[in-house]
Amino acid sequence: MSEQRVSAMLHDAGADTWAAAVAHPMVREIAAGTLPHETFRGYFRQNVLYLEAYARAIGLLIAGAPDRSALDVLTRFEVQIVDNEIPANLGFLERLGGDEDIVAGAGKMHPTTYGYTRHLLAVCAMEDCAAGLAAVLPCQWSYGELARPLMASRPVDPIYADWIGLFGGEGYDALIGETTSLLDRLADRDDAPRLAVLGQIFERSTSYERAFWDMAYGSGEGGSPDERGGRP
């Protein structure tokens, strides 16, 4: 039997938190096409701000890439966010009524968005590439996982159908495969203390994913995963 990959070990260790994020009630309403458009608009107002900081965090990883192969994978990860996801999110926001402050770059982060992005930026600036990947992967990976099963029966509403399509294609899955494989290569699965640290980082990001959905859905106006009982 082959040894379990580091990325899979981190994923499985936080399975309950992961499931709460990818099967969130807001995700289920998107899948059904029943989520109010105004709620989805609120999500995009924060997600544009989040993605801009997320791109900066990945940029910090690029600066610390240990070799040419890592540089290649991380650069394409960055391009996916800057060239595809940020413009797509701005497009969805416009279709849902727009927001002049967000378009002008003057939007205000909700405390959850601020906490999540500062976690990502701090880890990617202060730790090595493996730790940074453990921080940024839950976002990329969970969106691919939640969108994949929805591709076969997307809702009639084109906004929800198009959003699912953004993350449900083979190209997106292929990039997840490359980023998770990079983490597997950079982290020693037999180094238990190191895996414990990476697990804490991964779990914190996953908790923030759940908290971000709570915030957007209107049930998590309080703040960070720590304040809401999430594990560190």
Q: Would you give per-residue pLDDT tens digits along the chain (232 residues)?
A: 457 999 999 999 989 999 999 999 999 999 999 999 999 999 999 999 999 999 999 999 999 999 999 999 999 999 999 999 999 999 999 999 999 999 999 999 999 999 999 999 999 999 999 999 999 999 999 999 999 999 999 999 999 999 999 999 999 999 999 999 999 999 999 999 999 999 999 999 999 999 999 999 995 443 444 444 333 3
CA distance 216 to 63: 32
With a threshold of 0.85, does the pTM exceed it?
yes
- From the list 81, 222, 96, the residue with the least C-alpha distance to 140 is 81
Residue 34 lies in a domain: yes
CA distance 232 to 218: 23
Residue 191 lies in a domain: yes
Residue 159 lies in a domain: yes
CA angle 85, 30, 166 (to 5 degrees): 25
Residue 1 lies in a domain: no
The CATH number for 65's domain is 1.20.910.10
Residue 156 lies in a domain: yes
Per the CB < 8 A criterion, the answer to whether 11 and 18 are in contact is yes
Number of domains the chain is built from: 1
Residue 226 lies in a domain: no
Residue 225 lies in a domain: no
Residue range(s) defining the domain that contains residue 190: 6-217
pLDDT of res. 227? 42
CA distance 5 to 189: 7
Residue 222 lies in a domain: no
Give the list of residues 6+ apart from residue 175 with CB closer than 8 angstroms, or none.
76, 77, 80, 140
